[in-house]
Structure 1
Amino acid sequence: MPTAFLPTPKRRLLTGLIGSGIQKSLSPALHEGEGDAHGLRCQYRLMDLHELAMTPEDLPTLLEAAQLAGFNGVNITHPCKQRVIEYLDALSPEAQALGAVNTVVFESGKRTGHNTDGWGFAQGFRHGLPTADLTHAVQLGAGGAGAAVAHAALNLGMQRLSLFDQDHDRAQALAQRLQGQFPDQQIDAGHHLETTMQSASGLIHATPTGMAAHPGLPLPAEWLRPDHWVAEVVYVPLETELLRAARAQGCATVHGGFMAVYQAARAFELFSGCAPDLGRMLAHFEQLIAAPQTESTHA
């Protein structure tokens, strides 16, 4: 794992998650379970804007309260990943490149923002699709998670990435920003999904479609071919309708659980200074997911 910005290993760990509608998040169990394995007294608290009757405008108050209470840091999820940046002292290279933060580390009175989503996706992709053809991928979704995933795909060596989003302007803006960061690769905002799928080698899905609250497929199953690979970001259910359809067509697939675990593992390392056991965290995640507790693509 990357070692830059890592704090000194600790014996106690107080962290949490700031976001809205996060009561079913798996993050507390994942972080506290890994903390136990390292002999840490780990507590992970949820700061749910909805439950607290707060908005992103209250981020300064929440960050200051967490620092004063002795938190080692906090995770950040929807709708605060971009807004939180203005209240930080420094950004890691990943967070700077993405313009979004999902992890804030408090150390020496400073707040440093990180983004572990892209690293989590890349690790999961390598694990589940080690021989994937990186010639041309279609990505559905250009929001916060989509930006991190797209950046990671290009870092993995994707030669061409075609972005699609219900908000075409958002896809266009992301494509333009990424093109500036990856000038030797082709990034475009697509208009004709069916036609683009015909030339693509794979599909990255980064929208909420497939979650319990948003059932269904993000595109017609017949647009998938046996030589396509499919990478999913949604992790509850672990087998989405898209993954079932893709497997029925003979596609190689990777589920969203890997990204969920690996981004949490990297955040745990940043908070604690301890190297997490990825296999142990994956096994713990599989136990938790057997009795679904969350409907999120987020932390």
Structure 2
Amino acid sequence: MSNSSTIMRAGLIGSGIQASLTPAMHMAEAHSQGFTYRYDLLDLDLLGAGAERLSELIKQAEAKGFIGLNITHPFKQAVIPLLDTLSEDAATLGAVNTVVLRDGKRHGHNTDWWGFAEAFRRRLLDVELRHVVQLGAGGAGAATVYAILMLGADAVTIFDPDDGRVSKLVAAMEARFPSARIAAGSDLSAAMSDASGLIHSTPTGMANYPGLPLDANLLTARQWVAEIVYFPLETTLLAEARQRGCRVVDGGGMAVFQAVGAFRLFTGHEADASRMMRHFMEMTGTGDLGQNLLGALG
């Protein structure tokens, strides 16, 4: 048996995360590479707490020798004041999903945007990016709008009930992508009538947040739909989009590729993306997403 001092430890902080597949993906990949790696869930819902416990949880993780922490909904922005450094991407996005704990310092990164971009590129590379509508301006929304602009979107209209959050995100993206047209949305129906595609970046559709994020009648067959939710993999939004003839990408690819990036940052080992995807397929009992991505991965 491995000595406890040689066991790499990491964790995921979020609310309502008991269904997360991230721990299993990380630990299975480490096992395949021949080292011991324990990955824990730190669910604030189970602790009956909110963002006020973030600082305490990070300190506890450091005391236990954790090498890193993933951060998920709804703490990707709240965690930033607790960190020592930010990567360029994380600073631009104003959102962190990966915290590397090293040499007494906390280093914030964002692998969400790359995870979304990789999944999108492998499934919908040839789609039109003339005008993208995005729902959500939180931590995940910052990552997806950054990703779609990195992929070459000409214009993005962002909708979120928090006007201040949208304005801040629009300003950050305008500074980073001055040639693109980026705006806060006010009329969803009008925006969707002109949209090439839709990115959904809110929790709606998750097991704990069932339902649709918009009127399904706003979707048309000429549009594509990209989802970030992966549990369930087939959300109500994706089901409605498929019925209407839309090309879609579910949240599974983003979940796998952000884990690939975090695994590299935490452990210093390069993850086998194809192997992680196969494990994801096994855990979710899915085939279409994984087979398409595996084909693209070669």
The answer to whether TM tops 0.5 is: yes
Q: Which residue in 2 is equivalent to 1:226?
A: 221
Q: What code does the residue aligned with 2:140 have?
A: A
* Corresponding residue to 2:198 among 184, 197, 203: 203
Residues 106 and 178 from structure 1, CA distance in 2 versus in 1: closer, same or farther, beyond 3 angstroms? same
Superposition TM-score, scaled by structure 1 size: 0.88
Mean CA deviation greater in 177-186 or 45-54: 45-54
Shift of residue 137, structure 1, vs aligned partner: 0.5
Residues 250 and 128 from structure 1, CA distance in 2 versus in 1: closer, same or farther, beyond 3 angstroms? same
Question: Are 1:246 and 2:241 an aligned pair?
Answer: yes
Residues 88 and 201 from structure 1, CA distance in 2 versus in 1: closer, same or farther, beyond 3 angstroms? same
Residues 16 and 212 from structure 1, CA distance in 2 versus in 1: closer, same or farther, beyond 3 angstroms? closer
Question: Are 1:19 and 2:14 an aligned pair?
Answer: yes
Mean CA deviation greater in 252-261 or 72-81: 72-81
Q: Which residue in 2 is equivalent to 1:167?
A: 162
* Corresponding residue to 1:259 among 239, 242, 254: 254
Higher helix fraction (1 or 2): 2
Give 3-state SS (helix, strand or coil) of 2:208's partner: coil
* Corresponding residue to 1:271 among 242, 263, 266: 266
Give 3-state SS (helix, strand or coil) of 1:15's partner: strand
Question: Are 1:119 and 2:119 an aligned pair?
Answer: no
Question: Are 1:128 and 2:128 an aligned pair?
Answer: no
Give 3-state SS (helix, strand or coil) of 1:217's partner: coil
Between the aligned partners of 1:75 and 1:179, the Cα distance in structure 2 is 27
Task: List runs of 5+ in structure 2 lacking aligned partners.
Answer: 1-5, 287-298
Listed as ranges, the matches of 1:1-299 within 5 Å are: 12-290=7-285
4+ aligned runs moved over 6 Å, structure 1: none
Q: What code does the residue aligned with 2:19 have?
A: K
Residues 245 and 52 from structure 1, CA distance in 2 versus in 1: closer, same or farther, beyond 3 angstroms? closer
Query: Per-residue displacement from partner, 1:86-132 (whole Å, max 9, x unpaired)?
Result: 22221111111111211111222222111111111111110111111
Task: List runs of 5+ in structure 1 lacking aligned partners.
Answer: 1-10, 292-299
Overall identity of the aligned pairs, in %: 52
Q: How many residues of Structure 1 are paired with residues of Structure 2 in the alignment?
A: 281
Give 3-state SS (helix, strand or coil) of 2:158's partner: strand
Contact 2:226–2:250, Cα closer than 8 Å, also in 1: yes
Between the aligned partners of 2:47 and 2:195, the Cα distance in structure 1 is 45
Q: What code does the residue aligned with 1:203 have?
A: L
Residues 244 and 52 from structure 1, CA distance in 2 versus in 1: closer, same or farther, beyond 3 angstroms? closer
Residues 18 and 212 from structure 1, CA distance in 2 versus in 1: closer, same or farther, beyond 3 angstroms? closer
Shift of residue 54, structure 1, vs aligned partner: 4.2
Q: Which residue in 2 is equivalent to 1:8?
A: none
Mean CA deviation greater in 201-210 or 167-176: 167-176
Give 3-state SS (helix, strand or coil) of 1:83's partner: coil
RMSD: 1.8
Residues 151 and 48 from structure 1, CA distance in 2 versus in 1: closer, same or farther, beyond 3 angstroms? same
Superposition TM-score, scaled by structure 2 size: 0.88
Shift of residue 27, structure 1, vs aligned partner: 1.5
> Which fold has the larger relative contact order, with Cα–Cα distance below 8 Å and residues 6 or more apart in sequence?
1
